[in-house]
Amino acid sequence: VQLQASGGGLVQAGGSLRLSCAASGGTFTFRQYGMAWFRQAPGKEREFVSAIRGGDSNTRYADAVKGRFTISRDNALNTVYLQMNNLKPEDTAVYYCAARGGWSVQYYRQSQYDYWGQGTLVTVSS
């Protein structure tokens, strides 16, 4: 499975961006995969942002982004999205998408994901 993230860029505080992550390769069935977004700010460890389950598209969010970010998926396009609104300077980071077959109750742990995209940089200016 290959993941291609896109949509990052420079935005002012209070602005919005939408990230996309397109999955491809092999004979995998995208709708059966749990998908997630993580981010890594300069000098910090990578952290969980949001996750979405296959099947029922149940979602999870980190407290820092709850109410501002929305994760969604289009199984027909093998793509997961992260709509980011009311962006803050502290949201500045490289954003990574990740995938795993099925779902894990520890969806917030990097170790639970088998496939990773290359990352897309989001910079929020104050």
Flag whether pLDDT at 28 surpasses 90: no
Rounded Cα distance between 52 and 58, Å, is 6
Percent residues over pLDDT 70 in the chain: 100
Closest CA to 72 of 110, 21, 112: 21
Displacement of CA 56 from its chain's centroid (Å)? 17
Q: What is the pLDDT of residue 63?
A: 98
pLDDT for 27 beyond 90? no
How many residues in total does the chain contain?
A: 126
Q: For all residues of the chain together, what is the average pLDDT?
A: 96
Nearest 10 degrees: Cα torsion 58, 61, 65, 71: -30
Residue-wise pLDDT for 52-106, tens only, equals: 999 899 999 999 999 999 999 999 999 999 999 999 999 999 999 999 999 999 9
H/E segment holding residue 63? none
